[in-house]
């Protein structure tokens, strides 16, 4: 879309909430309100836990939950996608910010708000530029590997609050595991028991009922038990007092270019992974709700949600699968259900703030640990491992990189590997020589079956662009080299969706090679976009009218009009095509004698005469004797006036009795049989020989006269007079 179109679309996209309210269905308010309360009950403890996971104060999670859930719902396209703090966004935020500032410091908090605004701005720009399709380039193997790695990292990050030990800020996976092993003897037993109890309740509660969220039950039950047992007085760490009120505007370093430069890569990673996550979740829920989605509008909604969260003291957010699925299961009819979930959390911060202050950190750590384990999709990993080796490698490398490298680099490595693998596959499309199957109904790879010695039929299963043409050309040359006599090539192009100028040049070079071998290049099933590019580049003008063939009649046309039947009759014992079965295979044997072996073509060149030269010679004072070595039925269909018929089988079976004092011009359909006949006669002592260059095909191409007969002529020792008409041009 032109830039003017983008600008005109801005007010329409930003007016999405008004459109939502105008189209709001009657009777949906009650369902949306109940669904919003249900989702809000899960959102509240998750917001607290995920903010701790990101190394941020719990109140930032609440602010992000309130703002992002409402803005994302009002400006997104999905009725059920719930935006707010998530595992993935939290751990990426922590990974990006750790090299910049220590968790909990004012610099760390300010950078979290700034990167939310930056990531949101990138998403909005991508949505306005209609780049929703770009999320398709992040493969499932990257998503599965990264999600599994992030889940394991999240679990490792809960070791410190569960054991209440001290680990260095920003410790990696190995450092965390080694540090925990060294301090295992100093672990705080009440904190560990609280965390384990939370994990057990959340794991077992779905067996009791799924009507009440397991996370809510686990956090509430264990938190209440801790309060009643007075475990806070026994050293159990709690969240502490939370400020109650509306999300305040944050003072962000919007003009700190140095900090923006440090955050740029991380913001891009947050934007891309967040979009992939959100759009994938929206599509998964839409597959059940049957709602049509607009990926570009979803980019807008996710971007504005992050910008608002950053400015209102929150941090980066994305779409949550469990909250989105819960919104659909709870009966939400429109996106206002998610708006009500944010309003519920806002109200809860006023009412429940005193109780939340006494919630143990180990409870939230246990909830995060069990949630993180659900991110490790073992079933999907097994499917990828059993599937394509390339996808399995990408998943494995992304998983390892996620565990060992900063997350933004792990994401970048996975995406680059996916793109590289895609380019590798498209740059090496399958080029397969095919033959008819046993029933002669379908084409199938030849799989070692003997091919036609004259015609190769090849499927090109991919696009002909600059990255693929070298592979395609080399493979075609290998196919032709495997059967050296093949001069004709039929390319089946039904799988070629695109061709560029490099592909056109490759076809031009291939055609030139075939023509130098005395053959030609033919096409079938060429798609219209490819034909249009061929016309635009002038390639079609180089072709003859009969080189682009109909799929149903292509072989029939080539068999009866192009390839040399003598090769089929005298040299080839294969029956590659159905048409081959209509031709006899000549044995050329005498009475009681074994078959006479076919003689190979002579390596030395045989003198040739052009059709126009032969025409002139036939009208001269000493016309040559034209000897036609084709089959009788071919001769009857047309021959040079005055020619004598001497079929090649007769010449192979017994010595020739042609006049040795006359100049002999040997003729066949294309020149191959006559060349063989010339070699035979030369071996018998005939010296004044020449071959009609191009055979009867070349003679007819010059519009020269041909004669028709009811039966084969008898051998004559003198050339009958021929018409004095000049060649027709």
Beta-carbon-side half-sphere exposure of residue 297 (alpha carbons within 13 Å)? 21
What's the Cα-to-Cα distance from 190 to each of 62, 161, 225, 364, 369, rounded to whole Å? Answer: 27, 11, 12, 14, 17
- The values of phi and psi at residue 723, to 5°, are -65, 150
Within 10 Å of residue 620's Cβ, how many Cβ atoms? 8
The rounded distance, in Å, linking the Cα atoms of 490 and 472 is: 14
The rounded distance, in Å, linking the Cα atoms of 39 and 82 is: 9
The rounded distance, in Å, linking the Cα atoms of 496 and 337 is: 47
What's the Cα-to-Cα distance from 396 to each of 276, 400, 725, rounded to whole Å? Answer: 19, 6, 80
Place of tokens 């950190």: 361
Pairing mode, strands 82-84 and 318-320: antiparallel
The rounded distance, in Å, linking the Cα atoms of 515 and 487 is: 8
The rounded distance, in Å, linking the Cα atoms of 74 and 70 is: 6
Torsion of CA 35, 41, 43, 44, to 10 degrees: 150
Active-site option among 317, 568, 572, 668: 668
DSSP-assigned beta bridge partners for residue 360: 238
Within 10 Å of residue 671's Cβ, how many Cβ atoms? 23
Pairing mode, strands 430-436 and 443-445: antiparallel
The rounded distance, in Å, linking the Cα atoms of 472 and 461 is: 10
Q: Answer yes or no: are the C-beta atoms of 375 and 154 closer than 8 Å.
A: yes
Dump strand ranges (E) for 303-387: 318-320
Give residues with Cβ within 8 angstroms of 464, minimum separation 6. 472, 496, 498, 499, 500, 502, 503, 506, 507
Strand, helix or coil for residue 492: strand
The rounded distance, in Å, linking the Cα atoms of 111 and 117 is: 10
The rounded distance, in Å, linking the Cα atoms of 536 and 557 is: 27
Supply the Cα-derived Rg of the chain in whole angstroms.
40
Give residues with Cβ within 8 angstroms of 471, minimum separation 6. 427, 428, 429, 431
Dump strand ranges (E) for 496-545: 520-524
The rounded distance, in Å, linking the Cα atoms of 487 and 481 is: 10
Beta-carbon-side half-sphere exposure of residue 152 (alpha carbons within 13 Å)? 21
The dihedral sign for the CA sequence 151, 91, 127, 75: positive
Residue 342 structure tokens: 């944010």
Q: Quote the DSSP letter at residue 624.
A: P
Place of tokens 């799924």: 210
The rounded distance, in Å, linking the Cα atoms of 564 and 69 is: 75
- Ranges of H-type helices in 428-500: 469-482
Pairing mode, strands 430-436 and 318-320: unpaired
Judge whether 452 counts as a catalytic residue: no
- Catalytic residue list: 668
């Amino acid at each position: 879309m032109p830039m003017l179109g983008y600008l005109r679309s801005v007010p329409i996209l930003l007016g999405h909430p008004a459109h939502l309210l105008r189209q709001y269905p009657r009777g949906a308010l009650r369902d949306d309100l109940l669904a919003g309360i249900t989702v809000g009950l899960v959102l509240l403890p998750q917001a607290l836990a995920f903010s701790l996971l990101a190394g941020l104060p719990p109140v930032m999670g609440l602010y992000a939950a309130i703002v992002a859930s409402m803005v994302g719902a009002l400006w997104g396209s999905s009725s059920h996608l719930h935006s707010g703090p998530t595992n993935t966004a939290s751990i990426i935020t922590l990974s990006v910010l750790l090299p910049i500032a220590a968790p909990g410091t004012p610099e760390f908090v300010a950078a979290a708000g700034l990167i939310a605004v930056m990531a949101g701005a990138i998403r909005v720009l991508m949505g306005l530029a209609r780049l929703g399709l770009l999320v398709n380039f992040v493969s499932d193997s990257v998503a599965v590997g990264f999600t599994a790695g992030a889940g394991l990292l999240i679990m490792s990050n809960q070791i410190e609050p569960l054991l209440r030990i001290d680990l260095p800020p920003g410790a990696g996976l190995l450092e965390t595991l080694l540090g925990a092993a060294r301090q295992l003897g100093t672990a705080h037993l009440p904190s560990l028991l609280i965390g384990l109890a939370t994990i057990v309740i959340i794991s077992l509660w779905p067996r009791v009922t799924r009507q009440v969220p397991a996370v809510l039950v686990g956090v509430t039950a264990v938190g209440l038990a801790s309060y009643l047992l007075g475990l806070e007085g026994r050293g159990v760490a709690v969240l502490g007092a939370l400020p109650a009120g509306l999300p305040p505007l944050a003072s962000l370093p919007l003009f700190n270019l140095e900090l923006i430069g440090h955050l740029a890569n991380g913001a891009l990673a947050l934007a891309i992974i967040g979009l992939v996550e959100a759009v994938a979740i929206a599509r998964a829920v839409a597959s059940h709700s049957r709602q049509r989605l607009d990926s570009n509008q979803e980019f807008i909604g996710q971007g504005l949600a992050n910008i608002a969260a950053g400015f209102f003291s929150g941090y980066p957010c994305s779409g949550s699968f469990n909250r989105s699925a819960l919104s659909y299961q709870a009966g939400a009819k429109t996106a206002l259900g998610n708006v009500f979930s944010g309003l519920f959390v806002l109200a809860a911060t006023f009412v429940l703030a005193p109780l939340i202050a006494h919630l143990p950190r180990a409870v939230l750590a246990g909830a995060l640990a069990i949630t993180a384990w659900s991110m490790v999709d073992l079933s999907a990993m097994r499917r990828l491992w059993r599937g394509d080796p390339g996808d399995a490698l990408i998943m494995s490398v992304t998983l390892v990189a996620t565990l060992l490298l900063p997350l933004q680099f792990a994401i970048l490595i996975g995406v680059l590997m996916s793109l590289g693998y895609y380019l590798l596959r498209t740059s090496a499309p399958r080029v397969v020589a095919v033959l008819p199957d046993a029933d002669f109904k379908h084409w199938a790879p030849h799989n070692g079956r003997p091919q036609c010695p004259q015609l190769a039929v090849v499927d090109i299963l991919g696009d002909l662009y600059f990255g693929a043409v070298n592979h395609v050309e080399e493979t075609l040359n290998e196919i032709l080299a495997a059967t050296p006599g093949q001069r004709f090539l039929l390319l089946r192009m039904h799988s070629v969706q695109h061709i560029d100028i490099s592909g056109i040049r490759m076809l031009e070079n291939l055609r030139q090679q075939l023509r130098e071998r005395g053959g030609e290049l033919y096409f079938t099933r060429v798609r219209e976009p490819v034909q249009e590019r061929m016309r635009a580049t002038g390639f079609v003008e180089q072709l003859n009218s009969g080189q682009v063939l109909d799929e149903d009649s292509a072989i029939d046309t080539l068999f009866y009009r192009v390839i040399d039947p003598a090769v089929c009759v005298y040299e080839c014992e294969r029956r590659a095509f159905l048409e081959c079965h209509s031709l006899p295979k000549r044995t050329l044997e005498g009475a009681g004698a074994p078959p006479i072996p076919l003689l190979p073509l002579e390596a030395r060149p045989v003198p040739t005469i052009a059709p126009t030269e032969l025409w002139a010679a036939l009208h001269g004072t000493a016309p040559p004797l034209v000897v036609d070595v084709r089959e009788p039925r071919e001769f009857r269909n047309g021959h040079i006036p005055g020619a004598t018929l001497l079929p090649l089988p007769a010449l192979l079976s017994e010595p020739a009795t042609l006049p040795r004092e006359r100049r002999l011009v040997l003729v066949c359909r294309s020149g191959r049989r006559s060349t063989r006949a010339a070699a035979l006669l030369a071996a018998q002592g005939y010296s004044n020989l020449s071959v009609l260059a191009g055979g009867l095909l070349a003679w007819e191409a010059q519009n020269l006269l041909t004669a028709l007969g009811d039966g084969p002529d008898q051998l004559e020792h003198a050339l009958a007079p021929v018409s004095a008409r000049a060649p027709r041009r």
